[in-house]
Structure 1
Amino acid sequence: MVDETKKLYTLGIVGGTGKEGKGLAYRWLKAGHKVIIGSRNFEKAQKAVEELIEFMGYSPEGLSGMDNRAAVEACDIAVITVPYVGHKSTLEDLKDALQGKIVIDVVVPLVPPKVSKVQMPESGSAAQEAQAILGDTCQVVDAFQNISHERLMGEGDTDCDVLVCGKSKAAREVVIGLVADTGLKGWDAGPIENAVVVEGLTSVLIGLNQQHKVHAAGIRITGISDQT
């Protein structure tokens, strides 16, 4: 049941036709948010919408598909889920439309074929790269790097936490609320410089998945009570 007292957003998922984008869309739609699936190709965005409707078994109110620019222009908060190879060019193309918005960067700088090896960009992390491209009027927040789409598309306890980094504490708090709406526990992991650790953990988790022949290794923060 949707909490009618909480703030609801229109979330534009850039590159939302991929598995992670659709997983986040699914969780946020269930929480009552509006979601726009964005893609470079309008037809691909519409197909992703149809796939989500089929998966959910009904057509959720507030779900739509648009090209990436239209999705960014229509949203309150933008979510970047493109592969790292297209990260810089996507942000540069959408820079004007993203001004003044909170931008949740879900991208991890994976460099195939050695995706289990941490390989960070010169800027330090994908989030820092995004902040440098977009400028100070955008509030870039790093989140959801360490959660697999299998957990997002599943039911029940995800058994995984989310570390949230960014320059603005206020923006981090908004994103932590959106993390909670996905059924996950979000933690304020501090300034954007800490994103190097968060993003690097993804390669470590991929390596663990490969070693143990699983698909959804994640992280938990322990030793902190819910009352603190």
Structure 2
Amino acid sequence: MTTSTPTPRYTVAVIGGTGPQGKGLGYRFARHGHDIVLGSRAAEKAETVATEVSERLAGLAGAGTARGAANTDAIAAADVVLLAVPYDGHDELVASLASALAGKTVISCVNPLAFDKRGAHGRVINGGEGSAAESAAEIAPEATVVGAFHNVAAPALWGEDDFLDEDVIVVGDSLEGKQVAIDLAASVTGRPGIDGGKLRLARVLEPFTAVLISINRKYKTHSGIRVTGV
């Protein structure tokens, strides 16, 4: 079932937009009416991927636009910024963009994961008292940082289904910031995101992705999360 409540049309800068998660989420946002600017350190790389996304959008009624740009230019052109970068180098990248992120709503879907012979597992951030989303909020204090889209599988995002049969859980300390991510979630699942509480709960959502990776390997699928009773 799709949501019938109109949502604002956003321009979203996707930092890490050339990677599978960023490209997939950007495609979903644009497929359902938002405009996206895929960001990369190299504008040419971002433009190439944006062309690929635009080709997927061709002929879809009501679709938004996709273009590529260097990271700072992408942020300047956007209302909302999605951080979809690997955790390695995350803090340094956010620090380099902190002034550009000031005043923006920033959605982090970064998952600090590690892999060993036993499989995927979550990294321990700040002695268990932190997360990638909280690190971004500390490094870029003038931005409004929320966490969302941690548990959505990249292959499913790039698939042909109109919407994914799962929920997006959103965490943050700003109701206004969370509402932006809740709105954008409807582009992915066909229904608003679920308010999951304060930003510190990103400490639960980020490593939980390792559980889904283990499920996917066991059952050869792209699993997601459904929230019942709301």
TM-score under structure 1 length normalisation: 0.89
- Report the counterpart of residue 124 of structure 2 in structure 1: 120
What is the percentage of aligned positions where both structures have the same residue? 38
Residue-by-residue CA offset, 1:24-82 (whole Å, 9 max, x unaligned): 11111122211101001111101101211233345965321001111011111111011
C-alpha distance in 1 between matches for 2:226 and 2:178? 19
1:145 aligns with 2:146: no
Task: Letter of the 1:79 partner, please give it.
Answer: L
Partner residue, 1:64: 67
Q: Residue 89 of structure 2: SS of its match in structure 1?
A: helix
The Cα shift of 1:12 comes to 0.4
Tell me, in whole angstroms, the C-alpha distance in 2 between the residues paired with 1:156 and 1:25.
Answer: 14
Q: Give the letter aligned to residue 78 of structure 2.
A: C
Q: Which amino acid in structure 2 is aligned with residue 130 of structure 1?
A: A
Who is 2:49 aligned against?
A: 48
Structure 1 residues 4, 221: CA separation in 2 closer, same or farther (over 3 Å shift)? Answer: closer
Q: How far apart are 1:183 and its partner, in Å?
A: 2.9
* From 162, 165, 187, the counterpart of 1:159: 165
- Match 2:140 to one of 114, 122, 134: 134
Does residue 27 (structure 1) correspond to residue 28 (structure 2)? The answer is yes
RMSD of aligned Cα (Å): 2.0
TM-score under structure 2 length normalisation: 0.88
Q: Secondary structure of the equivalent of 2:133?
A: helix
Unpaired runs of 5+ in structure 1? Answer: none
Correspondence for 1:194: 201
1:149-228, aligned counterparts within 5 Å? 149-154=154-159, 155-185=161-191, 186-214=193-221, 216-224=222-230
Contact 1:161–1:184, Cα closer than 8 Å, also in 2: no
Query: Which region of structure 1 is more displaced relative to structure 2, 67-76 or 154-163?
Result: 154-163
SS at match of 1:24: helix
What secondary structure does 1:64 align onto? strand
Deviation at 1:157, TM superposition (A): 4.1
Q: Deviations over 1:205-224 (max 9, x none)?
A: 1111122232x111111123
Deviations 1:152-182 (A, max 9, x none): 2231341111110011122111210111132
Matched positions, count = 220
**Partner Cα separation in structure 1 for residue 220 and residue 82 of structure 2:** 30
SS across alignment from 2:114? coil
